[in-house]
Amino acid sequence: RGAGWRAAGAGDGARRGPPQALAMDSRPLFQTLHALAEDNATFFRDSPTETGQRFVAAFTTIQEHARSLEPLLSHFATVYHIFDLDEYTPANGYRSLAQTVRCCLAHIVHKSRYVAANRSSIFFRGKHNCAELEAYCTALTQLRGLVYLAQRLLTHNRPGCLFHHEEGGLSEEFLREYTSMHKGCFYGRCMGFQYAPSIRPFLQTIAISLISFGENYKRHDSGLGVAAGSLFTSGKFAIDPELRGTEFERITQNLDVHFWKTFWNLTEMELLASLASMTSSQVRVSRALLVPPESFELPLAADPNLSVTITPPVAHSGPGAVQMRLISYELREGQDSEELASLVRPEGTLALELHWKTKPLPRSPCLVVHIHGGGFVAQTSKSHEPYLKAWAQELDAPILSIDYSLAPEAPFPRALEECFYAYCWALKNCHLLGSTAERVCLAGDSAGGNLCFTVSMRAAAFGIKMPDGIMAAYPVTLMQALASPSRLLTLLDPLLPLSVLCKCLSAYAGLDPDQIEDSTLEKLSPMNMVKRDTSLFFRDLRLSASSFLSSLLENTSKVDGAGGADESIRKSISEAALKSKPSPNSRESRKSQTCHNLSCTGETSPLDQRSPSSPSWHRKSSFFLNEGKQDDTSSSREDTTSNKGRGLTFPDGFEPLRSDQPAPRLHVELSPIFKNPFMSPLLAPDAMLKGLPPVHIVACALDPVLDDSVMFARRLRALGQPVTLRVVQDLPHGFLSLSQLSRETRQASALCTELIHDILRSQEEAPQPPPTPAGSLRKHRKLERTWNAAPTAAQDNSTQTGLEGQGGAPGGSTGPTGSAIKAAPGAPAGGSSAAGQPSGASPPSDPAITTSQDTSTSGGTVGRGVGA
């Protein structure tokens, strides 16, 4: 269907031929669409039925959008190569947006062909097919609006720059316009249309689970009550896509970061974690560690006879222990020591660590230090353990995953301090981890990728041993509220909506107003969940039974059913929910509204009151907003309406569909903390970036943070730093956590494993392989891998890659504070004495990088075929 057409398009040029093939001609697609739409519209124009007229309206609207989109996509195809890393890495937000539009058109073509072939059959389901077509027509309407916004960015941005570099002005207008657009159409029948077909059922399951969880979250707070209620309410969202889309949009815009933290942490539950552990690869060692906050000495990389003091993390909450997890496929020397056993912390999950007696293997020369993702606010190494176990088996090296403290309780820089302390502790105590740490790789995904970069920059500032390389999967490198074409995709991304992304970043910056706890708000910890679950569950059963009996008695006492069955029969759930006019009281009484802007200045939307029949409503609603923050509903809607008139003007009289949910006011006046180079590595000074080791980035073509990876790679390339950028197709943000779901995610995860393997490969074991022809396949542990030939010519980096006003600490502020350099009393033990790179010096290019990877003067590659 759409994926098959897309495989022959812009996402496949590196596999099929030279980069020029990426500038493909979209005219055949539009010609086919116009012919099918005209034929179907002519057929149904004579139909007297309502369904027939709906078909005519849908096909007419599709033709109108197609006529406007065709010249825009043709124009994009002529300029978006300017924003690529190089000619062999065709990836940026403009390409991704054009690919998404073509995918939507391909789905419409497929549905139009089906209608044309079966419209005369007595078995043709007219209403169902019309609803499907209308859903994609609505999605195409919103995509057209995104293309216009991208065109505006293309006009105002500097050549080669993907982010709008000026705060205020266009960026503020842009975000206001963007957040008011309707989003529910992308979460109903069109859920995940842009991704691989094998991913879409999982995304639908996630959406239904999230909506059901949100429906009962406010009512039960947490625990078994939520699970029981969600189980009974999930059915209506499974059978009614329109209602699912509406509820998904409401939840993503209104609920605060605590809700997302609780929902994402469902994978930490004992039952789910045990099931994931049993279905993943089995390892000999999987132990949770608790390292006490003690200072220690590390030798300097430039002079091992000198040492620097590493102090424990102290930000916000004072010195505290750091949690980690050691994973090893084989039992190695040191991992069975009493010293390591004293650091093991008990766990409640049913860990499948193999304990049979065996002779430990020698220490591995390699060590992987992993930092997990989760938006800085959720998840631990337990959530990422399934693919980490597979990595441990494939790499045959110990993996130390860091469980850093999460926001909003522990905002920046607590996570950075803990990750840096854990990295230094691993170098100092590598003999306990079953490694000599001769080769060290930092690996992380999403937020963990950001921390990998900042930990390396801090290691360079301290002058200690640097990692031999960084593997970052879909990292976030710019924490500012700057618009970019790839971030437009947050409008339709079910895993990373814009409001959720903003709440997570604000929580990490310590600017989230919801982190100020109300005195009536009980902290949602696992222990509190367990204590309240049983009582809440039986209380709900008792109240439900009482309500049922009361309703039964009232209905039997009514005469002629007056006022009792006005809407007892409905054609569908969504018909009553979507077609009826939403009154202010009825809509706002269902859910409280919580919206705040990127600067987290406390801008909120109205919080209406529930009916008097809910006695404890005010106590529960304080979880979302305090009573003092309530606003008037009508004034909020008037502001939203007036903002539309003051927003950007679309050409040809076009106007995208607007959301009926109060839009958060996303201002661009942000705290200077977002410009800190240890928070936004993209804004770091050149001197700090030159100290980074070789960087290998794996990005997703349809990821809203794709532009973060592209611009960061371009900055490193301009500085002469070794960097590669691999782009996988048709997969969402966070594919590593989905690595066991489909062939595409397994191949993408194997690509990350291959990059880590190249970093860990020593010089003696890394002979330069011959160039691999483009499109050829290479076996790696029973998984196929696609590589591309390396470029032979240097790329012209004439375009400016930095951002104006690259803020952050001055050069003198990047050094360590409070650290003392001392003369080492003796040679350091273990792997701590391995030679590193001096602070601020450009590291030499890694000889383990194959010809399909990049050096300081050659182009990168694209991991094509993965997920296509």
- Cα Rg, the chain, nearest whole Å: 28
Dihedral-angle region of residue 27 (phi above 0 means left; psi in -120 to 50 means alpha; beta otherwise): alpha
Whole-angstrom distance, CA of residue 427 vs CA of residue 457:
16
Calculate the alpha carbon distances from 533 to 189, 220, 222, 847 in Å: 35, 9, 7, 56
Three-state SS sequence of 241-280:
HHHHHHHHHHHHHHCCHHHHHHHHHHHHCHHHHHHHHHHC
Tokens of 735: 């594919």
With beta carbons less than 8 A apart as the criterion, state whether 91 and 710 touch. Answer: yes
Question: How many whole angstroms separate alpha carbon 440 and alpha carbon 59?
Answer: 58
858: Cα within 13 Å, side-chain hemisphere: 15
Task: Tell me which of 403, 493, 703, 707 is the catalytic residue.
Answer: 703
Residue 696 annotated as catalytic:
no
With residues binned 3-state (H G I as helix, E B as strand, rest as coil), the percentages for the chain, rounded to 5, are: 45, 10, 45
The first and second tokens of residue 726, run together, are: 């691999």
Helix (H) or strand (E) holding 460: helix 447-462
399's enclosing H/E stretch is: strand 399-403
**How far is residue 390 CA from its own chain's centroid?**
22
Report how far residue 731's alpha carbon sits from residue 96's, in angstroms, rounded to the nearest whole number.
12
Q: Which member of 383, 446, 574, 599 is catalytic?
A: 446
List alpha helices for 623-733, DSSP H.
633-646, 686-689, 706-718
What is the phi/psi pair of residue 246, to 5°?
-65, -45
Please indicate whether residue 616 is annotated as part of the active site. no
Backbone angles phi, psi at 553, to 5 degrees: -65, -40
d(CA 586, CA 577): 11
User: What kind and span of H or E run contains 187?
Assistant: none
703 has catalytic annotation: yes
First-last CA distance in the chain: 12
Active-site pick, 112, 733, 737, 739: 733
Distance CA 595, CA 639 (A): 14
Selection from 436, 469, 435 nearest residue 453 by Cα = 469
Point out the residues that are catalytic.
Answer: 446, 703, 733
